[in-house]
Amino acid sequence: MTLVTEIYKISKGFLKDEAYGLTSQMRRCAISVPGNIAEGYGRNSIQVGTEGQRKMKTYRDLQVW
């Protein structure tokens, strides 16, 4: 989760011209990494809930937006 917060902090200082380019792409990527880890972890373990539910819980826990 630290990766996501650091990317958000760093990208705040980017030029406004990059708001819909590099900044957006970096933030979307940073958010998808923990979600993909949660999804992959769920495939290799026995847990209650679907992969989608674990992924959404991860996104909720990020609380960056």
pLDDT of residue 47: 61
| Integer CA distances (angstroms), 20 to 16, 41, 63, in order | 8, 31, 20
DSSP structural state of residue 6: H
pLDDT at 65 over 60: no
Per-residue pLDDT, 45: 61
Q: Judge contact between 38 and 57, C-beta under 8 A.
A: yes
Q: Would you state the structure tokens that stand for residue 25, as one six-digit string?
A: 């792409």
| Domain residue ranges of the chain, discontinuous segments joined by + | 2-62
pLDDT tens-digit series, residues 17-39: 887 889 989 988 888 888 777 77
Determine the 3-state secondary structure of 44 from DSSP: coil
Q: Which helix (H) or strand (E) holds 59?
A: helix 51-62
Segment 43-60, tens digit of pLDDT: 666 565 666 677 667 767
